[in-house]
A and B are shown apart, each in its own frame.
Chain A
Amino acid sequence: MFLEYIFKKLKYNNNTKCGVPQKQEEQTPVPPNIDNAEQMLKERFCFSNDFVTRRLNVNYVENKSCNGLIAYMDGMVRQDLLSESIIKPLLHGRQETFLLSNRSKSKNEKNSKVDKINNTILSTGEVKKEKDFEKAVEAILNGDCVLFLENSAECSIISCKGYEKRTIEQPSYEVSMRGPRESFNENLRTNTTLLRRRVKNSNLVFENLVKGRKTRTNLCITYINGLAEKKLVDEVKRRISKINVDMILESGYIEEYVEDSPFSIFATMGITERPDVLAAKLMEGRVGIIIDGSPFVLTVPFFFIEAFQNPEDYYTRTIHSGIIRIFRYLAFFLSIMVPGIYVALTSFHQELIPTSLLFTIAASSEGVPFGSFAEVSLFLLVFELLKEAGIHMPKNIGQTISIVGGLVMGEAAIQAGLIGAPVVIIIAFTAVSSFVVPTMGNEVTLLRWIFLFLGGFLGGFGIAVGIIGLTVHVTGLESFGYSFASPFMPCRPEDLKDTFVRAPLWMMRRRPYGMAQGDKVRENTPIPPDRETSNENGEKNYE
């Protein structure tokens, strides 16, 4: 039974049957008596210290005033906006807006009290009328303030969100030398704005959802209407709608609930923390998922080759970026296979090593108490521990530990005869190569160990089996209906312009196959760019 489950998970498309539809929220009406309302609210918020209620006298029309209650969460509202634009007009409304209200009111309408206040007195940007108590509570939790009126079955939700958030900083994960340095932060609205500033298109859609029963996290699905395939957008929405969990804290949660192949080594959903990268992906017809509280945005679908594409490739010139990209592929494969191949060669296939190199390696392993496999796996383990420790270390001790780890351990271990020098070089080289492609960092760590074990136990045959297995696995993965290994499989030569090298921008005329159905042609600039030439008569013309 368990094996069956594992096999099903190892394949793709496991999300068709899971998920329980969410039950409807019960509708609770807003209590007309504000004492009741206050009591209900306070109980609802469990008499929390940061929940604030304020009574006031609302003059909403000439000669009429009523009691009002403002409820909000301290720390989540802008106090200046609250006092200047909300409470002040409510308190002194009668004098300033008397004439206004008389003029703007149409004689036939019977506006409710709340409508009058919303339309004529409040001077904030966004106000809503609400009949449901639960929605009012949700609004308070989101940072808005709610105005309850005596004897009114409606309340007014007034937006005045203002809380501490991180400034827009440089990206820490996807660093590039050339290109914009803005990165997403944890606020949903800031992130959507950053994206909006880059894609000034009215077809850019943000669809909001709330997920997580207890955390009520806001999510945004973004795509460009008409460019992204409807099938893809519907699939994303369907999968997200099936999520029925308590909390969503980060994009990783959504990723795990929604991805194909949860047990695969490779991620089938991309993440990015840069708005220019997200804009480029949306322009190719992909869909993005922005989660409130996380600077990492998910992009769907994700291909194997995307991990090797750095935004800097597109901002520098063709030849340089082409060579660098080939280096990245090389670095990836080297960092996976070098320890395994070294162990396989020195343990099983010594005849493949050139003679003088064999002498050097034999000399360095002469006094070592371990075999080749034990040597390499021991030092690789040490390296992995150092790496983990380095991530979580406070900055003060960071320098010391790197000196200890790097110099002392490496040098001293060789001097003590615990490991040979070639092994240290192999591991150092592997480590450096793995940082060339940081997006594949997690996968590389795991694959390295797999190839090491395969090479150590089965020699060259094991490495060959590993490569075949890896290829079979990668080509079998799917990402939201698209093959993970495209454009290699299914092979589309026209999409190969962006894989091993990056073809010049004026050569990339069409969007990736099967993705952007609404608008296939990217651009119409001629190939190559216009050049001024002279014909025989000496006249200049462009061709």
Chain B
Amino acid sequence: MSKKIICITTVIVIMFVSFTGCSVKGTKRDLSSLAIVIGLAIDKNEGDSQGFETFGDEQARILMTAQVVRNDSVGQQGGSGQGADSAGKGDVGKPYWNVEVVGGNLLEAIRAATHVTNRSLYLAQNQVVVISSDIAKEGIAKYLDFFFRDHETRYDVSLIIAEGNAGKILATESHLDNLPAQDLYKLINSQKRDSGTPDCTLFSFIRDYKTEYKSALVPFVRVIEPKEEQRSPFLFVAGSSIFVEDKMVGILDEKQTRGVLWVSDRVTDGVVALDFDGIAVSLEVINSKGSFTAEYSDGKIKVKSKVEAKLSLGEYQGQGQFDTEKVKMLEKMCEEEIKKEINEGFEKIREKSADVLGIGNYFYRFKYKQWQKIQEDFLEMYKNANMEIEVDAQIIRTGSLLKPIDANSGGKNE
């Protein structure tokens, strides 16, 4: 019996000793000791360093903006307490605070925030990372190392490229939400309704970066300031930015982005607007499937892409009957339109040598022998690649009306 007691006591002692890893002091923290960060922005540091001591040379400094939630201003009790009363000067009293810190690298900057915040920055609830296009042009992969290495950060946060200054994006207040970063996150997510912008997380970016020759598309956001005084600036998601390796090389607008997304099977919803002999018609995408095959023959890369789209008629601003003839013609027009989009998109990415579709990867996985031949000159060949597009659009529904609302014009009977 005493042997058993010795065994049990030893086990308990070992447990308590190893519990120091999860000891109260180390990991327990109160909610009121956290500064919950919901958005991060990374900029180049122009201007002075505001008293922050950093390492490294002046040019390499970054300005990090962390949007911290003010705990007592969100939620039932807090909201009523604060109200719309921004009694302080400047930006005190808002439900959030954009902490601006200068540092040589990310971790130094975050830790340097202790000079100005009374709580430690808590990154686990971060939702967006906004990087300014100036930094993006020089390469962003080195900044992403911190996000993967730290235990608290998550790498399913949305990655966004800002036109110009990234901190301004985080400071642009939205009309619908309290917190700009949360608004931005929801904004990017809701782009699925139009498929004009791809969704991109840190994880998917790094995955594409590490895939040989594959390029990523990252949402591109700009701030629009209306000319009228009463209207406040707002965010606008303007297509996507093209990345080769980890450097930004160009921008695609919405139509071009969607063109590329048709083929990569990432179109979930959207509207195709057509001009049907002077009648404005809108078709809504219900379902879409896209795939491509590639082949190397006659010294050229030939890509065959196939898109199957199911659409429903959203709007028909015309008169007259709506019969199968017209449906077929509409389908044909829609196919032409989609082909045009895809061509435009492909042109643009081809000229930048950005293999967004993953053609190189396709060769590597499915046509290895050919890949071995073209591997070294792939990017050159890609610039001259040929794309054959086959689109099959079907209009499967016409909404709640069978005939156009304007079918019998002016009361005349047909």
* Interface membership of A459, Cβ < 8 A: yes
Complex interface: chain A residues within 8 A of B29 (CB):
347-348, 350
Residue interface mask B70-86, A partner, CB < 8 A = 1: 01111111110000000
In the bound assembly, the distance between CA atoms of A347 and B28 in angstroms comes to 5
* Interface membership of B27, Cβ < 8 A: yes
**Within the complex, what minimum Cβ distance (angstroms) separates A350 from chain B?**
6
Complex interface: chain A residues within 8 A of B72 (CB):
363, 366-367
In the bound assembly, the distance between CA atoms of A305 and B32 in angstroms comes to 42
* Interface membership of A458, Cβ < 8 A: yes
**Within the complex, what minimum Cβ distance (angstroms) separates B295 from chain A?**
47
A-to-B contact residues, CB < 8 Å? 3-4, 7, 346-348, 350-351, 355, 358-368, 371-372, 421, 457-459, 461
Among B24, B36, B127, the residue within 8 A (CB) of A362 is B36
The answer to whether A351 and B32 have CB atoms under 8 Å apart is no
The answer to whether A372 and B30 have CB atoms under 8 Å apart is yes
The answer to whether A366 and B28 have CB atoms under 8 Å apart is no
**Within the complex, what minimum Cβ distance (angstroms) separates A51 from chain B?**
53
Among B2, B28, B38, B71, the residue within 8 A (CB) of A459 is B28
Among B22, B38, B127, B182, the residue within 8 A (CB) of A461 is B22
The answer to whether B125 and A365 have CB atoms under 8 Å apart is no
Query: Which B15-37 residues have a C-beta within 8 angstroms of A?
Result: 19, 22, 24, 27-32, 34, 36
The answer to whether B125 and A459 have CB atoms under 8 Å apart is no
Complex interface: chain A residues within 8 A of B36 (CB):
358-359, 362
Q: How many residues of B contact A (CB 8 A)?
A: 33
In the bound assembly, the distance between CA atoms of A368 and B31 in angstroms comes to 11
The answer to whether A350 and B122 have CB atoms under 8 Å apart is yes
Query: Which B51-85 residues have a C-beta within 8 angstroms of A?
Result: 69, 71-79
* Interface membership of B5, Cβ < 8 A: yes
The answer to whether B77 and A364 have CB atoms under 8 Å apart is yes
* Interface membership of B138, Cβ < 8 A: no
The answer to whether B124 and A348 have CB atoms under 8 Å apart is no
In the bound assembly, the distance between CA atoms of A363 and B5 in angstroms comes to 48
Complex interface: chain B residues within 8 A of A361 (CB):
31
The answer to whether B124 and A366 have CB atoms under 8 Å apart is no
Complex interface: chain A residues within 8 A of B38 (CB):
355
Complex interface: chain A residues within 8 A of B28 (CB):
347-348, 459
The answer to whether B71 and A3 have CB atoms under 8 Å apart is no
The answer to whether A355 and B127 have CB atoms under 8 Å apart is yes
**Within the complex, what minimum Cβ distance (angstroms) separates B31 from chain A?**
5
In the bound assembly, the distance between CA atoms of A459 and B26 in angstroms comes to 12
In the bound assembly, the distance between CA atoms of A446 and B178 in angstroms comes to 43
* Interface membership of B1, Cβ < 8 A: yes
In the complex, what residue of chain A is closest to B38 when comparing beta carbons? Answer: A355
Query: Which B141-192 residues have a C-beta within 8 angstroms of A?
Result: 152, 154, 182
Count A/B pairs, Cβ under 8 Å.
84
Complex interface: chain B residues within 8 A of A359 (CB):
36, 69, 71, 74-75
Known: A363-B71, A363-B79. 12 other contacts (CB 8 A): A4-B5, A347-B28, A347-B30, A348-B29, A350-B34, A355-B182, A360-B74, A360-B76, A362-B75, A363-B78, A366-B71, A421-B77
The answer to whether B76 and A365 have CB atoms under 8 Å apart is no
Complex interface: chain A residues within 8 A of B22 (CB):
348, 458-459, 461
In the complex, what residue of chain B is closest to A352 when comparing beta carbons? Answer: B124
Complex interface: chain A residues within 8 A of B154 (CB):
351
* Interface membership of B115, Cβ < 8 A: no
In the bound assembly, the distance between CA atoms of A421 and B76 in angstroms comes to 10
Show 8 residue pairs from A and B whose CB-CB distance is below 8 angstroms, ordered by the A residue: A4-B2, A347-B29, A348-B28, A359-B74, A362-B32, A362-B34, A363-B71, A363-B73
The answer to whether B32 and A366 have CB atoms under 8 Å apart is yes
Complex interface: chain B residues within 8 A of A459 (CB):
22, 27-28
Complex interface: chain B residues within 8 A of A365 (CB):
30-32, 71
**Within the complex, what minimum Cβ distance (angstroms) separates A250 from chain B?**
34
**Within the complex, what minimum Cβ distance (angstroms) separates B258 from chain A?**
30
The answer to whether B75 and A364 have CB atoms under 8 Å apart is yes
In the complex, what residue of chain B is closest to A365 when comparing beta carbons? Answer: B31
Which 10 A/B pairs are nearest by Cβ-Cβ distance? A363-B75, A351-B124, A363-B78, A359-B74, A366-B72, A360-B75, A362-B71, A362-B31, A366-B71, A371-B30
The answer to whether A346 and B124 have CB atoms under 8 Å apart is no
Among A348, A355, A360, A372, the residue within 8 A (CB) of B125 is A355
In the bound assembly, the distance between CA atoms of A354 and B5 in angstroms comes to 44
Complex interface: chain B residues within 8 A of A360 (CB):
74-76
In the bound assembly, the distance between CA atoms of A461 and B2 in angstroms comes to 30
Complex interface: chain A residues within 8 A of B124 (CB):
350-351
Residue of A7, A358, A364, A421 with most partner-chain B CB within 10 A: A358
Complex interface: chain B residues within 8 A of A368 (CB):
32
Among B4, B30, B79, B125, the residue within 8 A (CB) of A358 is B125
Complex interface: chain B residues within 8 A of A371 (CB):
30
**Within the complex, what minimum Cβ distance (angstroms) separates B235 from chain A?**
19
Query: Which B223-274 residues have a C-beta within 8 angstroms of A?
Result: none
Q: A358-B36, A360-B76, A363-B75 are known contacts. Are A351 and B125 too (CB-CB below 8 A)? A: yes
In the complex, what residue of chain A is closest to B79 when comparing beta carbons? Answer: A363
**Within the complex, what minimum Cβ distance (angstroms) separates B5 from chain A?**
6
In the complex, what residue of chain A is closest to B9 when comparing beta carbons? Answer: A3
The answer to whether A7 and B5 have CB atoms under 8 Å apart is yes
**Within the complex, what minimum Cβ distance (angstroms) separates B76 from chain A?**
7
Query: Which B117-148 residues have a C-beta within 8 angstroms of A?
Result: 122, 124-125, 127
Among A4, A350, A421, A457, the residue within 8 A (CB) of B31 is A350
Complex interface: chain A residues within 8 A of B76 (CB):
360, 363-364, 421
Complex interface: chain A residues within 8 A of B32 (CB):
362, 365-366, 368
Complex interface: chain A residues within 8 A of B182 (CB):
355
In the complex, what residue of chain A is closest to B123 when comparing beta carbons? Answer: A351
The answer to whether A457 and B5 have CB atoms under 8 Å apart is no
In the bound assembly, the distance between CA atoms of A461 and B24 in angstroms comes to 12
Residue interface mask B92-103, A partner, CB < 8 A = 1: 000000000000
In the bound assembly, the distance between CA atoms of A459 and B31 in angstroms comes to 14
Complex interface: chain B residues within 8 A of A7 (CB):
1, 4-5
**Within the complex, what minimum Cβ distance (angstroms) separates A416 from chain B?**
13
**Within the complex, what minimum Cβ distance (angstroms) separates B17 from chain A?**
14
**Within the complex, what minimum Cβ distance (angstroms) separates B404 from chain A?**
44
In the bound assembly, the distance between CA atoms of A355 and B75 in angstroms comes to 12
In the bound assembly, the distance between CA atoms of A423 and B21 in angstroms comes to 28
In the bound assembly, the distance between CA atoms of A137 and B127 in angstroms comes to 85
The answer to whether B19 and A458 have CB atoms under 8 Å apart is yes
Complex interface: chain A residues within 8 A of B31 (CB):
346, 350, 358, 361-362, 365, 372
In the complex, what residue of chain B is closest to A462 when comparing beta carbons? Answer: B22
Residue of A3, A7, A360, A366 with most partner-chain B CB within 10 A: A366
In the bound assembly, the distance between CA atoms of A380 and B124 in angstroms comes to 30
**Within the complex, what minimum Cβ distance (angstroms) separates A366 from chain B?**
4
Complex interface: chain B residues within 8 A of A4 (CB):
1-2, 5
**Within the complex, what minimum Cβ distance (angstroms) separates A483 from chain B?**
22
**Within the complex, what minimum Cβ distance (angstroms) separates B337 from chain A?**
39
Complex interface: chain A residues within 8 A of B125 (CB):
350-351, 355, 358
Q: A351-B124, A461-B22 are known contacts. Are A366 and B34 too (CB-CB below 8 A)? A: no
In the bound assembly, the distance between CA atoms of A371 and B122 in angstroms comes to 18
In the complex, what residue of chain B is closest to A420 when comparing beta carbons? Answer: B77
Complex interface: chain A residues within 8 A of B2 (CB):
4
**Within the complex, what minimum Cβ distance (angstroms) separates A13 from chain B?**
15
**Within the complex, what minimum Cβ distance (angstroms) separates B83 from chain A?**
14
**Within the complex, what minimum Cβ distance (angstroms) separates A453 from chain B?**
12
In the complex, what residue of chain A is closest to B73 when comparing beta carbons? Answer: A363
In the complex, what residue of chain A is closest to B178 when comparing beta carbons? Answer: A359
Complex interface: chain A residues within 8 A of B1 (CB):
4, 7
Complex interface: chain B residues within 8 A of A348 (CB):
22, 27-29
Q: A4-B5, A7-B5, A458-B19 are known contacts. Are A363 and B77 too (CB-CB below 8 A)? A: yes
In the complex, what residue of chain A is closest to B75 when comparing beta carbons? Answer: A363
In the complex, what residue of chain A is closest to B1 when comparing beta carbons? Answer: A4
In the complex, what residue of chain A is closest to B19 when comparing beta carbons? Answer: A458
In the bound assembly, the distance between CA atoms of A451 and B23 in angstroms comes to 17
In the bound assembly, the distance between CA atoms of A105 and B22 in angstroms comes to 92
In the bound assembly, the distance between CA atoms of A372 and B2 in angstroms comes to 40
**Within the complex, what minimum Cβ distance (angstroms) separates A457 from chain B?**
6
